[in-house]
Amino acid sequence: MSDYPLREKAADALLTHSGRPLCEVSGEALAAGKLRGADLRVHADTLRQQAGIASDGGYPQLAANLLRAAELTNVPNEEMLKIYESLRPERASYDELQRLADYLERNYSAKENAAFIREAAAVYRERNLLRR
Amino acid sequence: MTQTQRSKRFELLAKRDINKETYVEPWPEAGLIVADSPYDPQPSLSITAGTVVEMDGVAQADFDALDRFIVSHALDLAVADEAMAIPSQEYARMLADINVPREAIARLIAGCTPAKLTDIMRHLNVLEMMMGLTKMRIRRQPANQAHVTNWREHPALLAADAAEAALRGFAEVETTVRVARFAPLNALAILVGAQTGRGGVLTQCSVEEALGLRLAMKGLTSYAETLSVYGTERTFVDGDDTPWSKAFLASAYASRGVKIRFTSGTGSEALMGRAEKKSMLYLEARCLLVVKGAGSQGVQNGSISCIALPEALPGGVRAVLAENLLAAMLGLEVAAGNDALASHSSIRKTAKLMLQFIPGADFIFSGYSAIPKRDNLFGGGNFDAEDFDDYNTLQRDMQIDGGVQPISEDEALNIRQMAARAIQAVYRELDLPPITDEEVEAATVAHSSDDMPERDIVPDLEAADAFMASDRDFVAVIQALQVSGFADVADNILEMGRQRIAADYLQPSAIFDADFKVRSAINDANDYTGPGSGYRPAGQRWAAMQGIPQAKSPEGFVQPHSGAPLSRLVEIGPASKGLQKEVLLAVGPAFGRGLTTTIGGLAHEDVLKAILSGIAGEGMIARILRVYHSSDCAAIGYVGARLSGSGIGIGLQSRGTAVIHQKDLAPLNNLELFPQSPSLTLATYEAIGRNAARYALGLATVPVAVKIDNGARLRLIVKTALLHRRETDEVDPDKRPQALRFDWEPDL
């Protein structure tokens, strides 16, 4: 928690999603066309660090959310929107949700999200929230 | 009673704003009950081998999706047995007890079921809840959020209003759309506007969930809050989500460095016809546990768009405060409502506001309408731009930080123009339909959409679609600002990008302060433990809150009443006791010297002439003297009466207050008193002179009629006090009354 806020106390160690040090995110670089959207996105490690800060601060559920978020940093935008759509009520079958969980775990090492989706699939089956 | 008669008073009452409201009697079976439905469950929790097997009277096998989510993600089972064993009243007492710190309560609340949470609220009145909210709010310093929309969806007006809102101190600015396709352009306009007003203001555009996520991914928004949850499974599904889909959405936003809060609030389930006979507060407790379990850092609750429904029921406003408090107890950031239209009555809406305003909330409003009501596309505007000065005054009156500060007209015009020019430049550089100079100028001075020129929305919508479909994002926006001379605004948006990389503002209740530094429950945790602790506005902040442009310097009140001393009014030595039938006119120490006009703006010379004309009109002689030892009207008049040969004197203060006195009366008694000096005219002063003369002659006398103006004191009390102080400055306690010669003869 002593490192919080990271922007002020640990800026030198921060990386962008694309792996560049934060100090390279400058107005000059941007004006010169050297920065893209991915250079202005959060890195998974930073989210894990923030999860630790949240946990130490007494916010375990937020911490769990940030750990799931860390796993999703590599998931492309369109894929993310599709996963969300699948989790909405009556969109997916039990097997489709299982396959989605397997896919996330295999391709993005998204263990937490996979477990979360498997849990949802079980509840959806019992509560009649799967596609009919 | 027959209705042939009508009470004029009841007829008038029927037309009052408060009687435009709808009131309904409770009906638990339809969920039309704010708290304590006879169908609400009793609190209970059974844990076997680390698994919840029963909660609030429902067996595990019968758990619905919400119950399942709550037991697996929200409840802290390690503390649950201890927490559930403590009587609800004991929690209520802890909440109101300054000696029990926030952390001690939060630890136990983590193990409480929805029915337990609801039961705790049963024991608290609103004052105790306000004490609870003061302590349990997670961020130390309260803040405020603004709504900025307009029915024209005009980009220059959106940018200008967002800039003004930012300058006024709002920490977040939320917009939405009338036409959904406008979303990227509206989000863009308030991003540019808000970052022009103040770097670090968080912005969002409230739209359908998937579209909202796309806007965030493009960097056009920095937070999202309309992730709605509901307290029954069927309502949740009607809202086209489940706790798991909503929680996934929360993680998706966080993965792009975007802050979120969920939305809940009493009344939505009843409105959607699926309340399952439960009270609004019990269902809200379920919502809040879903919010917490999903890992949302916060919630906007306080009934939000359903507010008129609980307000139609008995105890509704209390229940809304209870839901705010429950959220804070659960460690959630609270954006406390007060946004949608809740009442026609100014008294009622303001009284309700006090329940959040006085204790303070992370966001006192989840959308103060920084625009007029008719431009508010949220159905909002309970407090709007036309209430800005009222709201600033409430802060100043109570020394309560409501999250905004007054600004001057010049400051507003400058920032609005800059923001409108900035969005004009962005539109030009990004090949969006041009914003003309005329539109910029109109937005600079506009109050509402009505003040804006027509704009062709067809090309705007086409441009919005194209922008959404392209891979352009906020990087292009920053570049556009860089090349068009808006380096500061570009830097602010770039810094918002760096903050996404640092992700500090994903922590609970995070905002950016005036120095663009993050402030959250991690580094600005509420530390209230009673008087002398916690947040209170002081120093520069309190100075900024006090500094309303309407406040004048005290000197400014007196200066217009100080002119050149009256050359025709000359002191001629100590005043003696009169031996003839006369009226003695005694004036105050500053009369005709330090002060030369009355509070009503009458020249002292004219007042003298009027009184003397009145006295002379009854054939009576007058003398004048100036009292030095007192500035009090009764004392001045009493000196006049005692030195008058007839025993009748007139006392006249410089501000114009007058009295007719008689020597045998007690000093504070009088024959006639004229305390409302602003209402006095020269004709009144002449009548005062005439009456004094008639008393001296022993004639029957009708007291002078004076207009009653109960507003005069309200308008003029500051000036009254300062003019009196000026008179008192001239008091010399050792100096005897001095006779005056007035070089003037009445025209008879």
Task: List, for residues A47-100, the tens digit of each pLDDT value.
Answer: 999 999 999 999 999 999 999 999 999 999 999 999 999 999 999 999 999 999
Element (H, E) at B54: strand B51-55
Rounded to whole angstroms, the maximal C-alpha distance in chain B is: 109
Which three-class secondary structure state does DSSP give residue B595?
A: strand
CA–CA distances in Å: residue B34 to residues B39, B292, B323, B329: 12, 22, 11, 19
B734-746 pLDDT, tens digit each = 999 999 999 998 8
Mutation for testing the B interface, residue in A3, A7, A55, A96 having most B CBs under 10 Å: A7
List the structure tokens of A103. Answer: 């896919």
Complex ipTM: 0.98
B712 versus B566: which is more confidently predicted?
A: B566
Which residues make Cβ contacts (< 8 Å) with residue B610, sequence separation at least 6?
B682, B683, B685, B686, B689
Is B222 noted as a catalytic residue in this protein?
no
Least confident of A17-26, B262-271, B386-395: B262-271
Which residues in chain B have their CB less than 8 angstroms from residue A58's CB? 103, 106, 331
User: For chain B, where do the domains classified as CATH 3.40.50.10150 start and end?
Assistant: 558-742
Q: How many residues are recorded in chain A?
A: 132
For residue B381, report the phi and psi dihedrals to the nearest 5 degrees.
105, 25
Cα separation of B584 and B652, whole Å?
11
Q: Find residue B206's DSSP bridge partners.
A: B176
B401-453 pLDDT, tens digit each = 999 999 999 999 999 999 999 999 999 999 999 999 999 999 999 999 999 99
Rounded to a whole number of angstroms, the distance from the CA of B539 to the nearest CA of chain A is 25
Cα separation of A46 and B502, whole Å?
7
At residue B327, the pLDDT reads 98
**All structural domains of chain A:** 1-73 (no CATH), 75-132 (1.10.1510.20)
At residue B709, the pLDDT reads 85
**Tokens 């009338």, residue located:** B178
Task: Note whether B501 contacts A58, CB cutoff 8 Å.
Answer: no
* Residue B722 in this model has a pLDDT that exceeds 80: yes
Counting beta carbons within 10 angstroms of the beta carbon of residue A74, is it exposed (0 to 12), middle (13 to 18) or buried (19 or more)? middle
List the structure tokens of B282. Answer: 């019990």
Catalytic residue, chosen from B164, B333, B339, B387, is B339
Overall average pLDDT of the B136-152 stretch: 97
Is B145 noted as a catalytic residue in this protein?
yes
Overall average pLDDT of the B585-614 stretch: 97
Rounded to a whole number of angstroms, the distance from the CA of B504 to the nearest CA of chain A is 6
**Amino acid in the structure at residue B696:** A
Cα separation of B322 and B133, whole Å?
9
Q: Among residues 90-149 of chain B, which lie with CB inside 8 Å of chain A?
A: 103, 106
Cα separation of A12 and A132, whole Å?
52
Mutation for testing the B interface, residue in A80, A91, A125 having most B CBs under 10 Å: A80
Compare all CA atoms of chain B with the CA of A56 and give the residue at the minimum distance: B522
Task: Note whether A62 contacts B478, CB cutoff 8 Å.
Answer: no
Peptide bond into B733 cis (omega under 30): no
Is B147 noted as a catalytic residue in this protein?
yes
The three-state DSSP-derived secondary structure of B538-592 is CHHHHHHHHCCCCCCCCHHHHHHHCCCCCCCEEEEEECCCCCCCEEEEEECCCEC
Q: Find residue B228's DSSP bridge partners.
A: B263
Which residues make Cβ contacts (< 8 Å) with residue A88, sequence separation at least 6?
B240, B241, B242, B245
* Residue B290 in this model has a pLDDT that exceeds 90: yes
Q: How high does pLDDT run on average in chain B?
A: 96
Q: Please tell me if residue B217 touches chain A, with a CB cutoff of 8 Å.
A: yes
Catalytic residue, chosen from B40, B164, B172, B174, is B174
Counting beta carbons within 10 angstroms of the beta carbon of residue B123, is it exposed (0 to 12), middle (13 to 18) or buried (19 or more)? middle
At residue B2, the pLDDT reads 62
Element (H, E) at B268: helix B268-271
At residue B574, the pLDDT reads 96
For residue B14, report the phi and psi dihedrals to the nearest 5 degrees.
-60, -25
Overall average pLDDT of the B712-741 stretch: 95
Task: Note whether B248 contacts A53, CB cutoff 8 Å.
Answer: no
Task: Note whether B251 contacts A69, CB cutoff 8 Å.
Answer: yes
* Residue B748 in this model has a pLDDT that exceeds 70: no
List the structure tokens of B563. Answer: 């002119």
Q: Please tell me if residue B250 touches chain A, with a CB cutoff of 8 Å.
A: yes
Q: Please tell me if residue A30 touches chain B, with a CB cutoff of 8 Å.
A: yes
**Tokens 């207009």, residue located:** B707
Cα separation of B332 and B300, whole Å?
9
Q: Would you identify the CATH topology of the domain B25-136+222-302+311-333? A: TIM Barrel (3.20.20)
- Cβ atoms of B336 and B361 within 8 Å: the answer is yes
The three-point CA angle B56-B61-B66 to 5° equals: 60
Is B174 noted as a catalytic residue in this protein?
yes
**Amino acid in the structure at residue B719:** K
Which residues in chain A have their CB less than 8 angstroms from residue B522's CB? 1, 4-5, 53-54, 57
Q: Please tell me if residue B230 touches chain A, with a CB cutoff of 8 Å.
A: no
Q: What's the DSSP call for residue B436? A: P
B502-546 pLDDT, tens digit each = 999 999 999 999 999 999 999 999 999 999 999 999 999 999 999
* Residue B595 in this model has a pLDDT that exceeds 80: yes
**Tokens 């710190």, residue located:** B101
For residue B241, report the phi and psi dihedrals to the nearest 5 degrees.
-150, 170
* Residue B116 in this model has a pLDDT that exceeds 80: yes
Task: Note whether A27 contacts B491, CB cutoff 8 Å.
Answer: yes
Is B204 noted as a catalytic residue in this protein?
no
User: For chain B, where do the domains classified as CATH 3.20.20.350 start and end?
Assistant: 25-136+222-302+311-333, 151-205+336-349+372-525
Least confident of A14-18, B77-81, B336-340, B705-709: B705-709
Q: Among residues 71-100 of chain A, which lie with CB inside 8 Å of chain B?
A: 71-73, 75, 77, 80-81, 83-85, 87-90
CATH architecture of B151-205+336-349+372-525: Alpha-Beta Barrel (3.20)
Q: Please tell me if residue A29 touches chain B, with a CB cutoff of 8 Å.
A: no
Q: Give the one of B248, B331, B522 whose C-beta lies nearest to A84's C-beta.
A: B248
| CATH code of the domain made up of B558-742 | 3.40.50.10150
Q: Find residue B671's DSSP bridge partners.
A: none
Q: Please tell me if residue A102 touches chain B, with a CB cutoff of 8 Å.
A: no
Which residues in chain A have their CB less than 8 angstroms from residue B508's CB? 54, 57, 59, 62
Overall average pLDDT of the B588-615 stretch: 97
At residue B708, the pLDDT reads 82
Is B366 noted as a catalytic residue in this protein?
yes
Mutation for testing the A interface, residue in B136, B211, B237, B248 having most A CBs under 10 Å: B248
Which three-class secondary structure state does DSSP give residue B3?
A: coil
Is B546 noted as a catalytic residue in this protein?
no
Q: Please tell me if residue A104 touches chain B, with a CB cutoff of 8 Å.
A: no
Cα separation of B240 and B229, whole Å?
10
Catalytic residue, chosen from B204, B366, B520, B630, is B366
Q: Give the one of A14, A72, A89 whose C-beta lies nearest to B251's C-beta.
A: A72
| Closest to A78 (Cα-Cα) out of B225, B205, B258, B210 | B210
Q: Please tell me if residue A7 touches chain B, with a CB cutoff of 8 Å.
A: yes
* Residue A1 in this model has a pLDDT that exceeds 60: no
B573: how many CB neighbours lie within 10 A of its CB? Answer: 10
At residue B44, the pLDDT reads 98
CA–CA distances in Å: residue B501 to residues A22, B173, B479, B494, B538: 8, 21, 19, 11, 33
CA–CA distances in Å: residue A6 to residues A1, A11, A14, A48: 9, 6, 8, 12
Q: How confident is the model at residue A11 (pLDDT cuts 50, 70, 90)?
A: very high
Q: What number of C-beta contacts closer than 8 Å exist between A and B?
A: 210
Rounded to whole angstroms, the maximal C-alpha distance in chain A is: 56
A13-56 pLDDT, tens digit each = 999 999 999 999 999 999 999 998 889 999 999 999 999 999 99
Q: Give the one of B209, B475, B522 whose C-beta lies nearest to A1's C-beta.
A: B522
pLDDT over 90 percentage in chain B: 94
Q: How many residues are recorded in chain B?
A: 748
Task: Note whether A88 contacts B242, CB cutoff 8 Å.
Answer: yes
